[in-house]
Structure 1
Amino acid sequence: MRVLLFPVGSYGDVHPFIGIACELLSRGHDVVLHTSEHFRSLAERAGVPYYAVDTEEEYKRALYDPNLFHPLHGFRTVARNVILPWQQRHYEIVAREVATSQSQLLMVGSALAQGLYMAHESFQVPYATIHLQPSVMWSSVRPPRLVRYMPASAKMPAWWNYGVYRLAERVMIDRILRGPTNAFRRELGLPAISRSTNLWHSPQKVIGMFPEWYAEPQPDWPANTALADFPLWDESDLGELDAEVRAFLDEGDPPIVFTPGSAMLNGHQFFAEAIAACQLLGRRAILLTRFPQQLPEPLPSGIRHFSYVPLSQLLPHSAALVYHGGIGTLSQACAAGVPHLIMPLSHDQPDNAERIERLGIGATLYPNQFRARKIAEKLQHLLQSEQTAAACREISARLANPLGVSRAVDEIERMLTENAAAETLSR
């Protein structure tokens, strides 16, 4: 089997697909990862065959867009810079594979890889969607929190929640995606779509890479949904913990780790408030960012900056994690058993923050609340709460034997078997 993987996004979106690729390769499958040129070196270090969908310049253009994490304009930014340009590129990649490959093909992508849905319609190539976060599984029964002040909730009638989502879809999604998408579909001879979200979920298989205790399946989720678990792949397989990081950890008490996410370039205030909060608490800290220009110079004593450290190696030696609420970072903090303090901005982050609070393992401060004194107060409570510590230990125990990647690959292989059986019956 030749599996074509199509992750879209930042490191948190690509890491799980690298883990899946490595597992597929270990099981003897032919695999090609199709994503941004920016991740070429990561794929090569992991030994995963790779094809660039864009250029480094295009990746940076999207990354440097100031609206990337805006609560209202963030989706438009992603759609303009990634979703729409990649639709045709993904479709053309699959068309070439169909024309040249001698192997049976299977496509795996995220909700943003919408060209795969159209390739499935045109060529009948089997297709699985992987959702890393439950926020894309819209439900009128128990709606995910898409923005801070969400007018839909589990306390409201299902008809009301459906109306809220439909309005949001028309205003924020269809207005951006539907016209260009339908223009491309006309070129391909495919019928127009009435709703852009129709392309979010594969009609054959949807794999949720999160556990049921994190997001309980809802009756109006796609019927073909199977939950795996958190993927928990973060480059730790590619090397030992950096010696400088190890030395800093050994110098004193467990530090608090701060990161606004791998794609954040406008985190100046986040880090300034983080540093001030640590000084109020008298705590050591590690600041993680690939863009050190966001940091003040020099850093105070007891506070260190590192570009990247696999969180599975770092967080077990840390006191707490303060971050943006991205699902990949969140899952590593759950596995490590440390409390979370989340500053959600947009996309899946408000929903993840709400779920973490519901589990009793963290707290939330929105950007206008993210000030040193409030950060210090929240952290002090989280670090002193025996109830929070017990909840963190319980969640960590549930992730002691991570199976997310292997279960996702099981579903992919099961899909191939089912497709082969269907082809046999049709002959």
Structure 2
Amino acid sequence: MSFPHFIVCTGGTKGDLYPYLRLAQSLAAKGVRVTMLAPEVHGEQVKAAGLAYEPNLSEARYHEVLDNPLLFDPHQGLKALFSGTDQELLDARAQLLRVAGGQPAVLLCHPFYLFAAGLARAAAPELRVVGAYLAPSNLRTVHDLHFMGPMPIAHWLPLAARRLLWQQADARFVDPVTLPGLNRVRAHLGLPAVEHGFLLHMQAQAELSVALFPSWFGPTQEDWPQPLLEGGFTLHDGAAHQALPPAVEAFLQAGAPPLVMTLGTGHKHAAAVYQAGVVAAQQTGRRLICLTGFRQQLPQDLPPTVLWAAYAPLHLLLRRCAALLHHGGIGTVAEGLRAAVPQLVLPFAWDQFDNAFRVQALGVGLSLPAKKATAARLSRELVRLMQDAQRVTQCHRVAALLPHDPSPDAIVDHLMQWSITP
């Protein structure tokens, strides 16, 4: 049986890369032709996985985006990401059309890539588009709504009020910074303007949507796009021979299980929170591993009870640690759940506030907004986190759920069957 070419498209940091890389590897292992489009900084990793690869964002542009501290601001992140991207959107559309080569293909996309996919399909109807969503808050809803950005939503708030909140958010914060550029591109291509509802327009570009998180973490909502395939956390473990860095291994063996602190592989602007974490670990008598690719975010002189590492595979590290302090990226959340380790989530922006709420609601962690993460507050929250024996038990209960979720291979089987169904 002949399946169409799958073009797997993502952007962002490693947390945005890994789930799509795992799906692409599964497709290729089943004999499907796959091409992966990802930022240039991830190119070697994609090629090492044995996949056909094309860069969709230069290394210089990648770092230019990450250098902007507003990217991690809960109110300014969309503006920082989407300002001045008209040409990039046109280039992404052209790349998709060129890679597809006029033949039937499935575009398996990160949500923010759906705009380029929709524009490509407008020119080439033989293309089919799948949107793969990493976290529940990536999908708009008025039902299972706990946060809009950093703003908590009361569970008792009526649906009519929630709809009004979304309308106001669109009109004041989302559409003004996203639709002008999109509509300039659409006008250039002779397509009608999108009058309102940037996020709803994004979701509408996909013929099929896939939830890359389990239903017990984010239940499917009646106002999510349909058809929707329920999946599970799509975790990427890398090469079979992967090991911890020698310095990390030595540190683990030298004492009690440490805390691990990571605020995202692309976050260059979290020095204050990292430094508060170092102080809090000392105040609570805990050893600490700080993971960041940007050493300048940590104090110059670290005590012997604190280790800096640029990177370590979390699936190997966390099962040997006492607790995880992190930003609330969905990939880090999932690795913490798999390792059955208590989590203290320090959200900055994007989906992180909602992810933090769900970690706390599951009984496996606590949440403290990053802007409130002083050393004193981190110390108090760490004591709360570590002294609750029931939380550790609950961590193991939740970890036991993961093996029963749909696997990446099962998701891919469904996608392959869908791809040959009219």
- Does the CA contact (< 8 Å) of 2:344 and 2:366 recur in 1? yes
Cα-to-partner distance string for 1:360-396 (whole Å, 9 max, x where unaligned): 1111111332122221221122112122111101111
- Does the CA contact (< 8 Å) of 1:259 and 1:287 recur in 2? yes
Return the letter of the residue paired with 2:375.
Answer: A
Distance across 1 between alignment mates of 2:124 and 2:251: 54
Cα-to-partner distance string for 1:133-167 (whole Å, 9 max, x where unaligned): 111211112224123333x4432111110110111
Cα-to-partner distance string for 1:218-268 (whole Å, 9 max, x where unaligned): 111112111110011153546222232222111111110001111111121
3-state SS of 1:139 partner: coil
3-state SS of 1:68 partner: helix
Residue 311 of structure 2, aligned match among 303, 308, 312: 308
Q: Does 1:55 align with 2:94?
A: no
Distance across 1 between alignment mates of 2:339 and 2:221: 28
2:118 equivalent in structure 1:
117
Return the letter of the residue paired with 1:143.
Answer: L
Distance across 2 between alignment mates of 1:269 and 1:382: 21
Cα deviation for residue 417 of structure 1 reads: 2.2
Q: Does 1:105 align with 2:105?
A: yes
- Does the CA contact (< 8 Å) of 2:78 and 2:177 recur in 1? no
Structure 1 unaligned spans of 5+: 423-427
2:377 equivalent in structure 1:
374
Distance across 2 between alignment mates of 1:20 and 1:80: 30
3-state SS of 2:28 partner: helix
Cα deviation for residue 402 of structure 1 reads: 6.6
Q: Does 1:411 align with 2:414?
A: yes
Residue 245 of structure 1, aligned match among 244, 248, 254: 248
1:191 equivalent in structure 2:
192
1:269-288 map, 5 Å: 269-288=272-291
User: Quick check: 320-329 or 237-246, which moved more?
Assistant: 237-246
How much is the aligned-residue C-alpha RMSD, in angstroms?
1.7
- Does the CA contact (< 8 Å) of 1:33 and 1:48 recur in 2? yes
Residue 96 of structure 1, aligned match among 98, 104, 129: 98
Distance across 2 between alignment mates of 1:139 and 1:313: 35
Distance across 1 between alignment mates of 2:370 and 2:300: 23
- Does the CA contact (< 8 Å) of 1:232 and 1:404 recur in 2? no
Distance 1:38 1:157, change over 3 A: same
TM superposition score normalised by structure 2: 0.94
Return the letter of the residue paired with 1:233.
Answer: H
Q: Does 1:12 align with 2:15?
A: yes
1:254-403 map, 5 Å: 254-400=257-403, 403=406
- Does the CA contact (< 8 Å) of 1:117 and 1:199 recur in 2? no
3-state SS of 2:229 partner: strand
Return the letter of the residue paired with 2:73.
Answer: H
Q: Which runs of 4+ in 1 moved over 6 A?
A: none
- Does the CA contact (< 8 Å) of 1:209 and 1:408 recur in 2? no
3-state SS of 2:132 partner: strand
In percent, how many aligned pairs have the same letter? 27
Distance 1:299 1:81, change over 3 A: farther
Distance across 1 between alignment mates of 2:80 and 2:240: 33
2:135 equivalent in structure 1:
133
Distance across 2 between alignment mates of 1:236 and 1:273: 34
- Does the CA contact (< 8 Å) of 1:138 and 1:144 recur in 2? no
Cα deviation for residue 410 of structure 1 reads: 2.3
Distance 1:321 1:169, change over 3 A: same
- Does the CA contact (< 8 Å) of 1:228 and 1:404 recur in 2? yes
Distance 1:156 1:238, change over 3 A: farther
Cα deviation for residue 85 of structure 1 reads: 4.4
Aligned length in residues: 415
Distance across 2 between alignment mates of 1:19 and 1:289: 23
Distance across 2 between alignment mates of 1:85 and 1:133: 28
Distance across 2 between alignment mates of 1:37 and 1:143: 35
1:425 equivalent in structure 2:
none
Return the letter of the residue paired with 1:276.
Answer: V
